Every structure is written in structure tokens, then in C-alpha cells.
Structure 1
Amino acid sequence: MTIPFVVPRSADVPPATWLTYGMTTLIVLPLLWRTRAPFTALICITAAGFAYLPLDGPGQPLPYSPVVAIFSVAAHAGLRQRRFTLALGIPLVAVAVALRTNTAREYLFSYFLFSMVYALGVLARTRQAYTETVELRAAELEKARQVEAERAAERERARIAREMHDILSHAVSLMIVQAEAGPLVVRSDPERAEAAFDAIAGAGRDAMVQLRRMLGVLRDDPPAGGAPGASRSPQPTLAGIEDLVEAVRRTGLPVDLVVEGSPRPSAPDVQVTVYRVVQEALTNVLKHADASSVSVRLTWTPDGRLGVCVENDTAGPRERQAEAGAGAGPGAGGGRGLIGIRERATAHGGTASAGPGPGGRGFRVAVDLPVVFSSGAEVSG
């Protein structure tokens, strides 16, 4: 806009005056507010432009300031202001051309320029709206990802808590039972006392192995001298239930393992759940019951379900108290193991119950699971 004032002009062109220079400045200055108040800037520029026409100043071949102002209105102004610009702009363009050359060529050029500049502003506004929508969607997805990550972490913490409870509770219960029995027979039956102490050591070693495996899963760095996960042993399977039962038998408690139906290969997570259910139920017997015998029954049904039942012949008061605490919820102060059994069963779409056995005698833990079969899984025979 200021080039005509600094570039030498021919002698037939009127010299620039301070008035024309000031009016040119007024035409440009409102562009400083073109994004905050685009419609107001356009009105000011239009008014200054029409005031400039009678001054016969040096002028420019293109209306630069109005072009930028029209684009800004189309890109940033509200709907009513945009409509008003279109309604008022068309006749004002005609008036401006009539006051200048009043030629068909300039009419065509001016309307074409007005239309294209406004269309470019609309495209810019549309692109900005699309960009904001994409950014908002990305922010929502990131928030949803964070929420899901927090939920996954919470589920993982609950899973780890169940695993550690099952491992430690079972091992410590075996150790306590053997430790209590050892001093009673250390003089009368040294071999039995030695077996009790061996069982204590074995239970402790087994617990340490399982805890190391769990801590290895939690570690981010691979074991020294090996690939990630190289030292991590597999999770328990149905085949391990026999060893689990045998470990309890070594405490002096008779345990029968019965498998009914035709065992079929099942998914690893189902096998882990069944193992942990049996482990926790046997732990409860050791901790809370005064049982003289225990039976563990695995029932495979033709409709693809697996029933797990652990039943003892005598339920002690502590066992009934634990069952009552499990029914009251996590805050009841007891029955955390039975709560874990219910959580495991529910996670697989199954059911779990705990209470008195047939005829009100003893105590029974029963779980019913839909089995997801796997061709490569290991089963207990």
C-alpha cells in the first residue's frame, strides 16, 4: 500500500500528500484486529477506502486491505456477520467500480476477486474446524487410552494380589501345619519329624520359586545373560494338581483326588484358575478346619463345562467365619481367599459357592466354569 509513496512517479501523476498517506494508513491499520474483530476491521477498511476515492491519491492496482479483510470475515466471523458481508459486499463492489472506471472488465474482475477471496476464507474456516475436531478427537482418544491403562493396571494389581495370596497362603499354611506337628513327634517318631521338616523346606522352596517367577514377570529388564523372560517358568496347569494334593497329604491329612468325565485340553488361563481354586480351598482346610479327610473332585461334563469341588468332612468355626466374611465383602475382615475364588470364577463367566456340605456336615467349595478348549493344552488324567 505504501509503494506508490516511495517509488518515483511520472510528472503527470499528482504528488503524494500527507492526507493521502494518512488515508492509506487508515486502510491498513484495522488489519491488526482482523482475527479478533474481523467484521469490524472490514467495516473500518471499507469506510476508509470510500473516503480515499475522492482524494485522487496514487492508489494501487489491487485492493489489498479489503481482500485480506474479506478473507478474514469468511474465515473467522460468525454466521450473521458473514451473511451481512455477502449482502452488503455485492452492491458496495458495484459502487466502488462505478466511482473508479465503470467498465465491464473491472466489474467482472472485482466480482471474481470478491468471490474467490470469500471462498478461500470459507475453505480456511472449514479446514480449521476439521483440525480442531481431529485434535479434540485425539485428546478424547488419549484420555480414553489413559483411563483404559489405569483400569488395566488396576486389574493387573488385583490379579497379582490374588496370585501372591494363593502362593503365600498355601505355602505358609503347609509350613505351619508341619511345624506344629514336628515337635510332637520329634522324640517318638524321628522319621516322621524329619519328613515334616522336609515338607516345610519344600513348601518354602516352592513358594520362593513361584514368587521369583511372578517378580520376573513384573521386571522390565531381562535376566542377566538371557533373553527377556528366559527364566520365567510356565504357570500352573491341571497336571500340577496331583503334586498339590500330594503336598497336602504329606501334612498327614488324607486327600482324595477324583476326576469324573473325559478330560479335554483346555486354555492355559482356565487351567491356572482351576489350580488356584483347588490350592486356595485346600489352604482353607489346613488353616480353618479340623478335618479328618478331604476330597477334590474335577467333573468334566459333555456340554463343555468343568466342575471343581473341594469338600472336607468337618468344618471348624474358623472356616465358617471365613465363609461369612467372604459373603460380607472385601471389608469384612475375613474370607479373602474365598473372595479371590469368586473373582477368578466370575472372570471366566463361571460361578462359585462356598458353604456347608451335604446334610450340613463339613465344608464345600464348588466352582463351575465354561471351558475354552485348546488343542495344545496339558490336562490332568
Structure 2
Amino acid sequence: MLLVQLATAIPFVVPRDPREDPATWTAYLVTVLGNLPLVWRRRAPVLMLFAVVAAGSVYQLALDGPGQPLPYTGLICLYTIALHCPERVRLVMGGVAVVIIVISVALNTRTARELLFTLFVFAAAYALGRLQATRQAYTAAVEDRAAQLERANRIEAEQAAVRERARIAREMHDVLSHAVSIMIVQAEAGPVAVRSAPARAEAAFEAIAETGRDAMAQLRTMLGVLRTQEAAPRAPQPGIAALPALLDRVRASGPRVSYARTGEVRELPAALEATVHRVVQEALTNVVKHAGAGAVDVRLDYGSAALTVTVADDGRGPGGVPSGAPAGGHGLIGVRERAAAHGGTAWTGPGPDGTGFVVRVDLVTSPLEVGT
């Protein structure tokens, strides 16, 4: 508004032709009143247009003030209507503006030149208003899309963090649960073996040390990845090739462990092999902790597009878990989660004759992996 007021005040400041009457304060005051409605142009653009037309009519008909090179207030009115008003209001007020322009020209010079120039100027103001409205709508749409994308990225990051925490929790549970179970069994057998079979006691203590060192190495690798913000070198997770060493540690704790692989034995993706290792590890940990089994059978059955992992023991079974021992704890939940991550399923229950306990996991392998 201040810029418009400055522009409309220029004709009152510039000296007029001596043959014309001098500009009066009344004419200047009417000009100021005609600019005042611009303060409410965003709140009531239609009323503003009528107020500007009324002030302009008073100035044109009742006063002999200096003319303006451009109808500043009228142009701003039409620009604001084109920018803020709905389509029906814009069309109606556009027609009203054309009528006002025709009447104004008829009362002034009555020339086609003035009529065409005025229509062109007001059409340009209307077009600029619509262009600005389109630009604002586009900017708002882009900002909204960016906000939605940011929310989606934040949700995805939170979900990824939850998945990573769950993965780390499973890894730490598997490592610690297995290692601690083996060490407890060996430590409990150690004092008895010291008195009756010193060589067996020495082997038990060596198994405790080896199990502890292996657990510490795996935990150190995981913690090293967590502590650094850069991409730390990651040692490969134990896979199917590491199963014999795992079975040897379990054999050292007491039960007889058999191991067999059937079907077309082939190399599998590292993530899938790590899942197989962790599933067998968790099943054997439960055998050592709860089953009191004398024998355990571990089988890997390779199919054309699937791998079945079975760990069966001859122990107490699901109904014979000692009091105070957690049934169906985090370990078996982790087994099911690992199977689901590879599109597979997990089943646990008693053996075929109702005795012992069986863990069976079916994992999906890609057909592209066959023969590799």
C-alpha cells in the first residue's frame, strides 16, 4: 500500500501546467482514501474493488485532480481477486471489471486506443494473479510431498532401527545362551571329573575356555560394529561349514550328536547359511539346558527350492522341562523370526513316538541357487 500511495502522490508533487488548476488537498485526500482499502485486500478483495471504484468515481466526477498514468489500485484489486477468489467469483468480477472499464473510458476519452490499452493492462494483472495462484499451489504441493516423504523416511528409519535391534538381540541371545549353557554344563561336570577322571576334567576346562573365547570373539565383532559410525569390516557369520565345530562342543558336554546332509548339497547365500547355523545352535542350546538328552540327531535336507533343518533329541520332551526353566522363550521365538525372514516356517513339538523334542525349520532357497 505504501508503494501505491507513493506512486499516486507523484502527480501531486510534479508541477502542473500553469493553464490547469492547481492540485488541491481535497483531491489528494480522496486519492489517499482510494488507496486505503488495499489494507484489507486479502480479507475482502471483492469489497475492496467496489470501494476503490467508488473512490475513483468521486475523484473523476466531483474533483479536478491530476490524472494517474496507471490505475494502480484497480490493477491490484483485480490481481488479488484472480489470486485468492474461487472460480465463480473470479468470472463474475472479471465481467464487472470489463463493464467498469468500458464506462470509465466512455466518461474519459471515448477512444478505442484507451479502451484496448486499459483492457490489456487489466487482463495482464488478472493473468499475473492466476499465474501466482498456480505457482503457490505447485509450491504447496511440492512442500506437502516433501513433508510426506520426510515422514515416510523417518518411519522407515525407525522401523529399520527396530529390525536391527531385534536382529542384534537375536544374535547376542544365540551367542550368549549357547556359550553360557555349554560352560555351565562343563563346569558342573568338572569337579566330579577331577576326582575320577583328571583327563576328562582337563578336556572340560579346555572346552569352557574355547567356548568363552569363541563367544567373546563374536561379541567383540558385534560391539565393534555398534560403536563405530563408519562402515567397519565385518567378519563373516558362522555358516554351515562351522556346524561340525559347534557339534563337537556339544558332544563334549555329554550327549551323542549325529550329523547328516541329504539331497543335492550345495553352497547357499551367506545370510541363509548363517540362519541355518543359528537355528541349529539354538536347538542344541535347548537340548543342553533343558532336555537331558542322551542323543541328538541333526539333519539338513536339501530340496530343489528349499532346505529343511531338523534337530531331534531323545530327552524329556516339551512336557519334561524342569521347573523354573522358561518354556518357549526368546530362543524359539528367534528361530521362528529367522525362518520367516527367509520365507520359511518353524515347527517344534514332540518326536514321532511322543518322546523327545523336535525342531524343524523349512527355509526357502531361490531356484537360481540350484547347481551353483
TM-score grouping bracket, smaller chain normalisation: over 0.9
3-state secondary structure, aligned to 2:308:
strand
Does residue 240 of structure 2 align to residue 233 of structure 1? no
Partner of 2:3: none
- The answer to whether the 8 A contact 2:321-2:327 is kept is no
Letter in 2 for 1:310: V
Letter in 2 for 1:289: A
How many Å apart are 1:119 and its aligned residue? 1.1
Does residue 367 of structure 2 align to residue 369 of structure 1? no
TM-score where L is the length of structure 2: 0.93
3-state secondary structure, aligned to 1:176:
helix
How many Å apart are 1:374 and its aligned residue? 7.6
Letter in 2 for 1:309: T
Higher deviation after alignment, 16-25 or 366-375: 366-375
Question: For 2:285, which of 283, 295, 300 is the aligned residue?
Answer: 283
For the residues of structure 2 that align with 1:40 and 1:234, how far apart are their CA atoms? 75
Partner of 2:253: 251
For the residues of structure 1 that align with 2:323 and 2:151, how far apart are their CA atoms? 43
How many Å apart are 1:242 and its aligned residue? 1.2
Q: Which portions of structure 1, spanning 4 or more consecutive aligned residues, are displaced by more than 6 angstroms?
A: 320-324
User: What stretches of structure 1 of length at least 5 have no aligned partner?
Assistant: 223-227, 327-334
Question: For 1:266, which of 260, 265, 268 is the aligned residue?
Answer: 268
Structure 1 segment 55-134 matched on structure 2, within 5 A: 55-134=63-142
Question: For 1:141, which of 141, 149, 152 is the aligned residue?
Answer: 149
Higher deviation after alignment, 78-87 or 199-208: 78-87
Does residue 303 of structure 2 align to residue 309 of structure 1? no
How many Å apart are 1:83 and its aligned residue? 2.4
Question: For 1:20, which of 22, 27, 30 is the aligned residue?
Answer: 27
For the residues of structure 1 that align with 2:165 and 2:368, how far apart are their CA atoms? 27
- The answer to whether the 8 A contact 2:179-2:215 is kept is yes
Partner of 1:360: 354
Aligned pairs, number? 363
Letter in 1 for 2:55: A
How many Å apart are 1:322 and its aligned residue? 10
Higher deviation after alignment, 260-269 or 97-106: 260-269
1:190-222 alpha-carbon deviations (Å, 9 max, x no partner): 111111111111111111111111112222345
Partner of 1:330: none
Change over 3 Å in CA distance of 1:208–1:318 after alignment to 2: farther
RMSD of aligned C-alpha atoms? 2.1
For the residues of structure 2 that align with 1:2 and 1:372, how far apart are their CA atoms? 82
How many Å apart are 1:6 and its aligned residue? 1.1
Partner of 2:331: 337
- The answer to whether the 8 A contact 1:311-1:363 is kept is yes
- The answer to whether the 8 A contact 1:267-1:374 is kept is no
Partner of 1:347: 341
Partner of 1:214: 222
TM-score where L is the length of structure 1: 0.90
For the residues of structure 1 that align with 2:199 and 2:246, how far apart are their CA atoms? 22
Change over 3 Å in CA distance of 1:342–1:148 after alignment to 2: same
Question: For 2:38, which of 17, 27, 31 is the aligned residue?
Answer: 31
How many Å apart are 1:38 and its aligned residue? 2.3
